[in-house]
Structure 1
Amino acid sequence: MSTDFQQAREALGVRLRELRLSAPGGRLTGPQLAQRIGWPHSKIYKLENGQQTATSEDLRTWADGVGQLDIFDELDARLKGFESHIRSWRRQLAAGHRPVQDGWNLEVSRTQVIRAWEEAVIPGMLQTADYARAIFLRYTDLHGTARDTDEAVRSRMQRQGWLYEAGRRFHALVWEAALHALICSPPVLAAQLDRLAGTIGMDTVELGVIPLGASLKIPTANAFWVLDDRLVITEDWHAELWLDDADTVDSYLRVWHTLQESAVYGVDAQNVIHRARRSLNTR
């Protein structure tokens, strides 16, 4: 997570400690507050020291426990201010995948240049509807979220209109492993690979493929997207991270350019895609 995020989390912890020590009925020790609100003492310690991210309900419970419920709005505003950097899937997907895709659409619409690295799947901007549907269904099953798959697919397909607007540039890097990953049925993957090969030559798309046998200067770690050199969006199993501090963006750009040195383009990229396509058993 970003340094800014951690600093904000620690600052919130300091504020929580202040409220505990200035409780109207007299200062409370950590164990006393924990007993009062029915939490383990370790949670009090972690929140005050910035080692755990509070939920909105945690903050309401804390404000009530220290006898200062009127302070909840201030605490919740602090949380929302820094939580924008780390968006847990549990919270984001509470209403399904469609709202997340709509949020991406809004951010992409105000972006001119996107650099993307994907090591496990085809980039969303280049996905077919059937491939995208398979991805959404996998994650819906994993997270147990609302099944709004068709709405999410339509939103993702709508975002691809960006590729056909003059002045946009999409620089995509894909590891060859993603071309073989059967996250969907073989026929769906075959159609997806055909679509991917067809994007080579578009004036708004530069697609690089890193072959499995390529020499690598750094490991092919987690996927990420850089929007206009101002915002990095990456994800882990628990959350999606939106990182906008300059040092972090610069770090991800260095990673992207380093990975790019191992990629092939044009006819060579098409050859890698066609090789993956021929290896499929679509019967």
Structure 2
Amino acid sequence: MTLPGITPYDGKTLPQSKAVSATNVHEARTALGNRLRELRQLAGQTGKQLAESLSWQPSKVSKIENGKQTPSAEDIKDWTRITNSTSQATALLASLRTLETQHAEWQRILKGGIRPRQNALAELDQKTRLFRVFEATVIPGLLQTSEYARARFAESIRVFKLANDINEAVEARLKRQDIFYRSDKRFHFVLTEAALRFRLCSPEVMLGQLDRLMSLSALPNVKLGIIGFETQYTASPWHGFWLYDDDKVLVETFSAGLNLAQPQEIALYATVFEELASVASYGRSARGIINRVIADLSPDDAEA
């Protein structure tokens, strides 16, 4: 099966769509909008008439029907009531819950604070045996020091205007790292050199983080690859993603977390991961890149 807007993978070239990760979400939202349009049309109402009956702006009806806006549960209940189709409400609400699971907006996920999100990820960690992680801009959460994690959480609290539970969130993230010492878990991380160099925290904090990478890379069940700046890519590093066994892909955007579980999506991300992993440096070469970044960040003692 070929996803819409994606070039079939032929073993030589990779799919070229930047929107691959959102395909299922868009399709689900569009399908829900189409069904709501059908109910309106069967009721003999125009979009303007429906909007007036519900005291909505006409543009809201158009956006929902065209898959540009996700309706709320109350929107669906009101829609089916006005179109005399309340018998359809249960099925439509089930479709909405599926869509919300795929596209989980941060404002909703984090409304209770950051720690509950870490606890939810910890539950997923316990179920997973093989972790395949690619990050182009940040150090993955499981590899973070407390200071680096604190900087990342502080950004989330500031941007999303969240309640400040940063101490509890850092504690929960570090607790998740106990999983590294379980022999039944395997980890394969691939990072770009840019992720080691972006100034997302102070140089002192980043130096501690780079030292932590060195230590964790020595664990027998951890494989750490670094893609240096000089490397020729075979797959574009559009965004970071986490593969949990062959069951789920998690993609985080500025506004939401995408939870992808369709077999064709998982297979696609597995292919992309293998392409990225194949050009990464490992072992001594990876440590050489990390040491190069450490040298660039460290004060020049010779001139002190």
The answer to whether the 8 A contact 1:13-1:50 is kept is yes
The equivalent of 1:143 in structure 2 is 160
The equivalent of 1:153 in structure 2 is 170
Q: Quote how far apart the aligned CAs of 1:64 are.
A: 5.1
Q: For the residues of structure 1 that align with 2:279 and 2:23, how far apart are their CA atoms? A: 30
Moved more, 92-101 or 6-15: 6-15
* Partner SS for 2:110: helix
The equivalent of 1:76 in structure 2 is 93
The answer to whether the 8 A contact 1:187-1:282 is kept is no
- The reply on whether 1:93 has 2:113 as its aligned counterpart is no
Q: Quote how far apart the aligned CAs of 1:265 are.
A: 0.7
Number of matched pairs: 280
Matches within 5 A, 1:168-247: 168-247=185-264
Candidates 167, 182, 186, aligned match of 1:165: 182
Candidates 1, 6, 13, aligned match of 2:33: 13
Q: For the residues of structure 1 that align with 2:299 and 2:168, how far apart are their CA atoms? A: 28
Matches within 5 A, 1:114-133: 114-133=131-150
Consecutive unaligned residues in structure 1, runs of 5 or more: none
The equivalent of 2:291 in structure 1 is 274
Consecutive unaligned residues in structure 2, runs of 5 or more: 1-20
Q: Quote how far apart the aligned CAs of 1:103 are.
A: 1.5
The equivalent of 2:126 in structure 1 is 109
Q: For the residues of structure 2 that align with 1:257 and 1:104, how far apart are their CA atoms? A: 24
The answer to whether the 8 A contact 1:117-1:225 is kept is yes
- AA aligned to 1:119 is A
- AA aligned to 1:181 is F
- Identify if the C-alpha distance between structure 1 residues 57 and 189 changes in structure 2 by more than 3 Å, giving closer, same or farther: farther
Matches within 5 A, 1:14-29: 14-21=34-41, 27-29=44-46
* Partner SS for 1:151: helix
Give me the identity figure in percent. Answer: 37
- Identify if the C-alpha distance between structure 1 residues 74 and 261 changes in structure 2 by more than 3 Å, giving closer, same or farther: closer
Q: For the residues of structure 2 that align with 1:133 and 1:120, how far apart are their CA atoms? A: 17
* Partner SS for 1:17: helix
The equivalent of 1:44 in structure 2 is 61
- AA aligned to 1:20 is R
Moved more, 4-13 or 204-213: 4-13
Q: For the residues of structure 2 that align with 1:184 and 1:7, how far apart are their CA atoms? A: 38
Q: For the residues of structure 2 that align with 1:187 and 1:163, how far apart are their CA atoms? A: 25
CA deviation profile, 1:167-219 (whole Å, cap 9, x unmatched): 21100001011111221111111111111111122111000001111111122
- AA aligned to 1:9 is R
Q: How much is the aligned-residue C-alpha RMSD, in angstroms?
A: 2.2
Q: For the residues of structure 1 that align with 2:54 and 2:135, how far apart are their CA atoms? A: 44
Q: Quote how far apart the aligned CAs of 1:74 are.
A: 4.8
Q: Quote how far apart the aligned CAs of 1:12 are.
A: 2.2
CA deviation profile, 1:32-69 (whole Å, cap 9, x unmatched): 11122232323212312333222234334434544667
Moved more, 176-185 or 72-81: 72-81
- AA aligned to 2:133 is A
Q: For the residues of structure 2 that align with 1:256 and 1:168, how far apart are their CA atoms? A: 18
CA deviation profile, 1:200-242 (whole Å, cap 9, x unmatched): 2211100000111111112222000111022110111111101
Q: For the residues of structure 1 that align with 2:78 and 2:147, how far apart are their CA atoms? A: 44
Moved more, 11-20 or 183-192: 11-20
* Partner SS for 2:71: coil
* Partner SS for 2:111: helix
- AA aligned to 1:247 is Q
CA deviation profile, 1:80-124 (whole Å, cap 9, x unmatched): 123211111121111121122111111111010000001111111
* Partner SS for 1:275: helix
The answer to whether the 8 A contact 1:20-1:29 is kept is yes
- The reply on whether 1:32 has 2:49 as its aligned counterpart is yes
